[in-house]
Structure 1
Amino acid sequence: MEFLTDYAGFLLKLVSVAIVIGVLLAMIANGKRKSQPGSLSVTKLNENYDAMKDDLDRQLLDKKTLKSQLKEKKKQEKLDKKANKKAPKEIEETPKKRLYVLDFDGDIKASAVTSMREEITAILSVATAKDEVVVRLESGGGMVHSYGLAASQLQRIREANIPLTICVDKVAASGGYMMACVANKIIAAPFAILGSIGVVAQVPNVHRLLDKSLIDVELHTAGKYKRTLTMLGKNTDEGREKFKQDLEDTHGLFKRFVSEQRPQLDIEDIATGDTWYGREALENKLVDDVMTSDAYLVAQYKDSEVVQVSYKQPKGMAERFGLSVFSAFEQKAVTWLGKLTQSRGF
């Protein structure tokens, strides 16, 4: 029994030392990570599409038909090459329209904006007015300031006079729709969820529980409205009214932004916090067309060079050593913290 006790004590010390070392290493790695640049990845989707088509042909066609098809393809390539040589220099040097594809998968903090801002900067350095940027957007909204920044990043594309198309396959609600409305054209899948032009905030209050347990909480502020509502202290009617007024003011800013981007909307009718599916959203002028992002991109392959641009952040120590559980825990903690604080959210 004494041996087991000693052994348990030894294991506890070992685990404690391992945790301390792990935390120190993580702090060092995090510092290095901030100084390391990420990497930009470019994938030519036309080539991927052609490769899949060729693979399917090889699986389905008999040898004779496949051989004939390949022969015809090579013949056509030779003819195209010959025609290009004979073409006037002006036509030959005219580049093909390029369509840049970005993906934005939004959480409560709009964390994906960290990569998206780099992707947009890279695209704007080479794109021309005849090109197009397509963003495949998925987000149910989140913090006001975070999605305000994300929408502002998309505005950089519009300000550069480059056509911007937003494709929504699942959801672009609240802050997500705030981003989508910046586009020249919004395309949504038939059952994608759009809208939710409203503002929400909730604050749990445990003052009565603490009071019952004889636990005092002191809250000191400098400024009348520095803290309108609190989780631990006693809230006042004046604080509640100010908090609700702040929500109304934020909602007003939200409505003004959406109406400026899409003046065809009847903003008072749709800015109720309600949501609509794709086809209903089209009827309410929240979107411009109903189709999936896949259908839209495939239709562009023939006449455009379609490239997917992705900026990868440098991996931290947790990811490098496969300790993704720590990253997942951190993300979950941030999500719950956002829900428990009085931060206003779209």
Structure 2
Amino acid sequence: MPLKRIITIILILIVAASLIAAFTIMPGGPGRKSALPQKQIGVITLEGVIMSGSSGFLSAAGTDDILRQLHDAAEDPDIAALVIRINSPGGTVAASQELYQEALRVKESGKKLVVSMGDVAASGGYMVSCAADKIVANPGTTTGSIGVIMEFQNIEGLYDKLGLKENVIKSAPHKDIGSPTRPMTEDERAILQDMINEMYGQFVDIVAKGRHMDVEEVKKLADGRVYTGTQAKKLGLVDEIGNYYDAIKIAADLAGIKGKPVIKEYGKKSTLEALLSGVKSIVNTFLDPAFGIRLPADPGTTLPTWRDFSHHSYFLDYLPDKVAQSYLYP
């Protein structure tokens, strides 16, 4: 399909979504308050690749929004328990650690914390889960993937075929570590391996603390492999097999809430956001690798260069979520 036609379709969908939202979004009256009972269960959804920044249109799960929601839930006196619904393959190490730490603060505020796993809650998604009092997974949930990976592409051969040569001026020997236009040295590999080993140790410690397991016991399970929800329960990586509503019930029981609990959803999408989310799904279909199209997450950014694409984490900024998920697992 011609690129011009695809762009036209995308623009039409965005304009249509905006027009529909303009007629459907009705603000509430001034001073309107709801007579809700004090004890409520908060729900936060973590979906997509975890990375620092905001969750914008066509982007992954930015930590800024989730951190704010976790903080608000911890400060909300009406919330007795929080359920984090996770559907994420992981993300960057630091971003996953940020969410884990903030989730711990929810527990420190005296609230019960339950994680409900969706299709996948692996790697960084599992790291965040380890902050919970209880982890609930579906039988077929993909979880685990306890480990860290760092990848670099080498396009030196491509440069040779194109007759290109890169001139590098650097202040120190390792300033261009991971350069895609030359082989990696043994010293550089050792430096990066030390980083990986340290981050791996941090991950293992988080799992050991959250699951009340011995570090050596965790290491036997932390070889990077994924597990089904059923396997994870047998291994002690999750607590219960169940769906979202089972997680809500468990949270209510932990918080001592009797009867049907009142649910408060944080970050719930407005009509416009819901429509744009639908447009995003359609756009991601058009942005399938088969079309050979790459669209920046931020419309104001420039298109990537070969050097940009050679760096592993850069893919998250330019590939649609469903493609990026297969590239980065912290």
Give the TM-score taking structure 2 as reference length: 0.65
1:198 to 118, 142, 147: 147
What RMSD in Å do the two structures reach over aligned CA positions? 3.8
Q: What SS is found at the alignment partner of 1:100?
A: strand
Q: What SS is found at the alignment partner of 1:120?
A: helix
By how many angstroms is 1:124 displaced? 2.5
By how many angstroms is 1:153 displaced? 2.3
My pick for the range that moved more, 172-181 or 116-125, is: 116-125
Distance in 2 between residues matched to 1:307 and 1:286, nearest whole Å: 28
| Matching residue's letter, 2:76 | V
Deviations 1:119-172 (A, max 9, x none): 2232223236x8100111111012122222222221221221211100002111
Distance in 1 between residues matched to 2:240 and 2:146, nearest whole Å: 20
Distance in 2 between residues matched to 1:118 and 1:236, nearest whole Å: 42
| Matching residue's letter, 2:47 | D
Distance in 2 between residues matched to 1:96 and 1:245, nearest whole Å: 49
2:92 equivalent in structure 1 = 143
Distance in 1 between residues matched to 2:39 and 2:50, nearest whole Å: 35
Distance in 2 between residues matched to 1:112 and 1:313, nearest whole Å: 18
By how many angstroms is 1:315 displaced? 7.9
By how many angstroms is 1:216 displaced? 1.7
Listed as ranges, the matches of 1:105-184 within 5 Å are 105-109=47-51, 111-127=61-77, 131-184=80-133
Structure with the bigger percentage of helix: 1
CA contact (8 A) 1:218 1:233 kept: no
1:100 to 4, 21, 42: 42
User: What are structure 1's unaligned runs of at least 5 residues?
Assistant: 1-14, 16-21, 23-40, 42-94
- Give the total of aligned pairs: 254
Distance in 2 between residues matched to 1:337 and 1:187, nearest whole Å: 42
| Matching residue's letter, 2:73 | I
| Matching residue's letter, 1:135 | I
By how many angstroms is 1:174 displaced? 0.4
CA contact (8 A) 2:83 2:247 kept: no
Listed as ranges, the matches of 1:42-121 within 5 Å are 97-109=39-51, 111-121=61-71
Q: 1:338 to 1:309 in 2, by over 3 A?
A: farther
CA contact (8 A) 2:139 2:229 kept: yes
1:228 to 162, 174, 177: 177
My pick for the range that moved more, 246-255 or 296-305, is: 296-305
User: What are structure 2's unaligned runs of at least 5 residues?
Assistant: 5-10, 12-27, 29-36, 52-59, 253-257, 288-294, 314-327
Q: What SS is found at the alignment partner of 1:117?
A: helix
Distance in 2 between residues matched to 1:193 and 1:209, nearest whole Å: 36
1:287 to 228, 238, 241: 238
Q: 1:122 to 1:312 in 2, by over 3 A?
A: farther
Distance in 2 between residues matched to 1:218 and 1:240, nearest whole Å: 22
Identity %: 23
1:44 equivalent in structure 2 = none
1:189 to 138, 143, 148: 138
Distance in 2 between residues matched to 1:195 and 1:107, nearest whole Å: 15
Listed as ranges, the matches of 1:267-346 within 5 Å are 267-297=218-248, 300=252, 302-310=259-267, 329-331=295-297, 340-343=310-313, 345-346=329-330
Distance in 1 between residues matched to 2:75 and 2:207, nearest whole Å: 28
Give the TM-score taking structure 1 as reference length: 0.62
